[in-house]
Structure 1
Amino acid sequence: MKKVLLAVAILVAGLTANAQEVNFGAKAGVNFANVSGEDVEDNITRTSFNVGAVVEFEITDKFSIQPELIYSAQGAKLEEESDIDLTLKLDYLNVPVIAKFYAAEGFSLEFGPQVGFLLSAKAKAKIGGDSGETDIKDEFETVDFGLNFGAGYKLDSGLNFSARYNLGLSNVAKESESSVKNSVFQISVGYFF
């Protein structure tokens, strides 16, 4: 994790030297998260949230780079029967580095890599009126790599909106015979100070 944060710090320092303008901001939104894989069947999207800080480096009028530091609640609902509800709760500290191409005034297309650090992993079971939660962090990889695709709109006031899909590239399950990957669609609202 130290190497990744050092790489991001070097990237930020280099971008600051070349940027026309630097904007600091915060964002929060809703996640529609899931996991995919051969061993994962009958899973349902888990609705959760994301919140974090962003820095936009405007390189030109049409192009900027936006590193982010985002807490993201992910996972999936694995089964939903009449009286059984199982939820996989994966919480990450994600560090995406987004390239933003401004196609029109305020409207951007977004693409970029992401590294995520697993903060916690829990399995929550609810059967009838009873429920319980178990820590399963040791069953998951601590680092997850992904790609982000999306679009955003920024108002002159600093208020901004984005919709983004995060495609997980890494197998996050340590001992699964097949690959299990994260999949998250995010809708966020932010503000540049």
Structure 2
Amino acid sequence: MRKLIFFSVLAATALLTSCATCNWGIKAGPNFASVGGDDTDDLDSRFGVFFGAYTECMILDTFSVQPELIFSQQGADYTESEGFDGTFKFNYLNLPVMGKLYVNDGLFVEAGPQIGYLLSAKEEFESMSLSGEDDIKDDIKNIDFGANVGLGYQFDSGLNIGARYNFGIANINDFADSSDFSNTNNVFSFAVGFRF
């Protein structure tokens, strides 16, 4: 089912972009990632970065479709009452497909689905007497699904800026008995990009 959705999104994007004028671009910026859902009271946002490339294809004068390929640092920080601090470090390769509506000159709003592939997942921890790092990739699902909303501004020079919120819509847990324990990725990001 996930492969069907993935290839359907790719096919629809290819169909739309084949009849449009397309421009390539690059983008990067900071992420403020968190994990929501069950038992997340002691979790805080994790600072990370993202970077990648996109192609923006104008379908109408004021509407475009923008598929992207993005490397994204996600996860969360935590502090426990016993003096145990740590970080969940998730690295994803994300494929958002955004619909962008230009509402005034270069100002645009955007929304669209996202599929993410988990590249790595680690937990770093530290206390007064113990520190280390565990690989927890087997406990996190390889595929993540989310949705994005955002806004930004496209300058005539090619430079663009934007802000986007990604909210997870799929449970990322893959450990035993995880069916009753649901968590999702949530990411707020700022972007600076250039469209060629």
5+ residue gaps, structure 1: none
Aligned equivalents of 2:194, 2:11: Cα separation in 1: 25
Q: What is the rounded CA distance, in whole Å, between the counterparts of 2:147 and 2:10 in structure 1?
A: 20
How far 1:68 sits from its partner (Å)? 0.3
The 2-side partners of 1:26 and 1:80 are apart by 39
Match of 1:17 in 2: 18
Query: Alignment partner of 2:43: what SS?
Result: coil
Change in 2 beyond 3 A, CA 1:192/1:129: farther
What does residue range 41-60 of structure 1 map to in structure 2 within 5 Å? 41-60=41-60
Task: State yes or no: 1:157 paired with 2:160.
Answer: no
8 Å CA contact 2:25, 2:194 repeated in 1: yes
Q: Which structure 2 segments of 5+ residues have no match? A: none
- The one-letter amino acid of 2:93's match is L
Q: What is the letter of the counterpart of residue 78 of structure 1? A: Y
Question: After the TM superposition, which residues 26-175 of structure 1 pair with which residues of structure 2 at under 5 Å, given as runs?
Answer: 26-79=26-79, 83-128=83-128, 131-175=131-175
- The structure-2 alpha-carbon separation of the partners of 1:90 and 1:38, relative to structure 1 and needing over 3 Å to count, comes to same
Confirm whether residue 186 of structure 1 aligns to residue 176 of structure 2. no
Quick one: structure 1 residues 169 and 27, their matched pair in 2 at CA, closer, same or farther if it must change by over 3 Å? Answer: same
Contact residue 41 and residue 78 of structure 1 kept, 8 A: no
Q: Shift of the alpha carbon at 1:2? A: 6.9
CA shift in 2, pair 1:104/1:137, >3 Å = same
CA displacement at 1:108 relative to structure 2: 0.5
Choose 149-158 or 128-137, whichever is displaced more.
Answer: 128-137
Deviations 1:112-152 (A, max 9, x none): 00000111000000224863111000001111100000101
Paired letter, 2:155: L
Contact 2:6 2:115 in 1 (8 A): no
Deviations 1:53-87 (A, max 9, x none): 11000111110000000000000012255843110
Write the distance in 2 (CA, Å) between the matches of 1:189 and 1:3: 32
Aligned length: 192
Q: For 2:42, what is the secondary structure of its paired residue? A: coil
TM-score, structure 1 length as denominator? Answer: 0.92
How far 1:172 moved relative to its partner? 0.1
Residues in 1 aligned to 2:129 and 2:51: alpha-carbon distance in whole angstroms: 31
SS in 2 for 1:13: helix
Question: Within 1, Cα distance between the matches of 2:6 and 2:150?
Answer: 24
